[in-house]
Structure 1
Amino acid sequence: MRHIEVWADVVCAWAYIGKRRLARALEGWEGEPVEVVWRPFRIDPMAPARAQPLEEVLRDPVVDAALQGCAPGMSAAENRVRVSEIAAVEGLGPRWGAAWRTSSHDAHRLVALAYEQGGAALQDAVLEGVLRAHFVERRDISRTETLHEVASAAGFREGARLLDEGGGEGYVRETLLRGKAIGVTTSPTLVIGGEALAGAHAPEVIAGFVARAVAEPRREVPAEVERLRMAEALLDKGDPLGCLTLLGSLMAEYPEERGVRMLAARAHYHSAQLSRAQGGLEKLVAENPDDAYARLLLGRTLERRGEAESAARHLRIAAAMNPEYGKAG
């Protein structure tokens, strides 16, 4: 079975519209069996834990810029007008429009827990309840009571307890990093294997995308390799702390793997954890004195720590092994 991963924020109206369109696109699907799995995305990472009336908040240009992640190229006001018209066509309503700006973190936890405990069908029911509560019933989905009621109405009997116990916390935080690593920047974004479709497109466009992506040969990659690649992608995107978060389990499971240790050292260096970077790099250099890059990075680390003499020795050796490194300085 192929997975259609939908990276979306439950406070993004286009995610609700996209959910309807995806369902229509898959009506009568006769290809390889597929399963829709919803993954968390945040269009407004700075949204407060305590809800604020949205009408007041939308007057803030900073918030307007943040919400453009849900509709690139449009102001929040323009987006709301357009979306309300499209929502009516999609049969969402009759009343439509969110009333609150608030963090979607706990709602994402509930949606994730639903999939973990009951699979795609239960997740779909819980997600529908969350979206309806936010956009149609105009409720505050950051409130524990609201999420408990959504879980109960969807038949997720364990949802309230699991949510109250902190379930899904680590999963949501890590999965947000995974989305960033693979380049998700818009809500919703459909991902099948290595193919992505950003936006809430018409059902026929979605159906065509699914057909093409599912027809592509599967690219089976060991989970450990995929995690390492994602961690490195986060470092390349300027998020060394996110890189270290994804590396955590690999560092625990493969403490002697050189590639894991080198990436951790790089992330420690770029996050200014210089003592940790130095410790890791000194071991890597001791094990393989001919590793020019490890020498270079160790030299740079020692420079930043004010150990000029030790740094110069490693930098000279690195430049001798690879003249390009001598030009970097």
Structure 2
Amino acid sequence: MRIDIWSDVVCPWCFVGKRRLEAALAEFEHADRVEVVYRSFQLDPSAPQHGHELTTPVLARKYGRTEDEMRQLQQQLTELAAVEGLSFRLLETVHTRTIDAHRLLHLALAEGGPALQATLKESLLSAYFEDAQDVGDHEVLRREALSAGLDPERVDEVLAGEEFADAVVADIDAAMDLGVSGVPFFVVDRRYGISGAQPTEVFSQVLTQAWAESHPPVEVVAGGDTCGVDGTC
């Protein structure tokens, strides 16, 4: 079974949702047969390449709130994230472009599969939200990519050009086709869509239902003499 997740590395709810899904998977008996793939989504493609302005005033202008009101909302989100084991520094994050982070995530998927991509995704989210790093800065991206285990030469090649930019666009187009207007957005087994960082219980319910539907038990319609798995007949 596969779970596709559309998200951005500067989306706080994406980090919270990631933790809640992981909690559900930790209790799911078939978790070792679940593949998680991250898909690209840019919350603000017009953001500057290198973040210099703090996110708080940017969000205040976007949503028509005062900076004090936005700080209060960010503090509430910080406290909620702490329940999931996350240490957010929302008041220190910068408004930055994420296209290159997404291109590296596609590199990780191509070179090392979902496991390597997941490692890099965690590193980038943590760098931005817990370390207040600028994930639009190539030095930061290179450091996190190498720490996750990506090949240095390939990382430099990707950052120096536009490789995987078409894959990012394809992911965003796919999200639009699905009617996605915000992230995180989870698609379980190409059948169930989950919008937002839902409670862990919701993820657990959908995982159980999707698995049951894609792996129905065999209905025995007739019985007879058999040999057992222990070799007895």
What is the TM-score of this pair, normalised by structure 1? 0.58
2:158 is aligned with 1:165: no
Q: Quote the offset at 1:168 in angstroms.
A: 1.2
- Alignment partner, residue 181 of structure 1: 177
Q: CA deviation at 1:30?
A: 2.0
Pairing 1:233-244 to 2, within 5 Å after superposition? none
Q: Which runs of 5+ in 1 are unaligned?
A: 66-74, 219-329
> In 2 relative to 1, CA 186–216 (structure 1 residues): closer, same or farther, beyond 3 Å?
farther
Which residue does the alignment assign to 1:46?
A: 46
Q: 1:216–1:21: structure 2 CA closer, same or farther, 3 Å change rule?
A: same
Identical columns (%): 33
Runs of 4+ with >6 A deviation: none
- The structure-2 alpha-carbon separation of the partners of 1:59 and 1:132, relative to structure 1 and needing over 3 Å to count, comes to closer
CA deviation string 1:80-135 (max 9, x = no partner): 22210112111112x52252001111111111211111011101110111111111
Q: How many residues align?
A: 206
5+ long unaligned stretches in structure 2: 216-233
Q: Return the alpha-carbon distance in structure 1 between the equivalents of residues 202 and 56 of structure 2.
A: 36
SS in structure 1 of the partner of residue 194 of structure 2: strand
Q: CA deviation at 1:76?
A: 4.9
Q: Note the C-alpha offset of 1:46.
A: 2.7
Q: Which residue type is aligned with residue 115 of structure 2? A: A
Check 1:181–1:77 CA distance in 2 against 1; reply closer, same or farther (3 A cut).
farther
Equivalent-residue separation in structure 1 for 2:101 and 2:85 (angstroms) = 23
| Distance apart, 1:187 and its partner CA | 1.1
Give the distance between the partners of 1:19 and 1:52, measured in 2 at CA: 27
* Contact 1:147 1:160 (8 Å CA) reproduced: no
The within-5 A match list for 1:8-87 is: 8-31=7-30, 33-55=33-55, 57-58=57-58, 61=61, 63-64=62-63, 76-77=70-71, 79-87=73-81
Which is richer in helix? Answer: 1
Check whether the contact 2:56–2:70 (CA below 8 A) recurs between aligned residues. no
Matched, 1:134 2:133: no
The higher relative CO (CA closer than 8 Å, separation ≥ 6) is in 2
8 Å Cα contact 1:31-1:211 kept in structure 2: no
- Check 1:92–1:28 CA distance in 2 against 1; reply closer, same or farther (3 A cut): same
Rg larger in structure? 1
- Offset of residue 181 of structure 1: 0.8
Task: Report the counterpart of residue 209 of structure 2 in structure 1.
Answer: 212
Q: Quick one: structure 1 residues 42 and 55, their matched pair in 2 at CA, closer, same or farther if it must change by over 3 Å?
A: closer
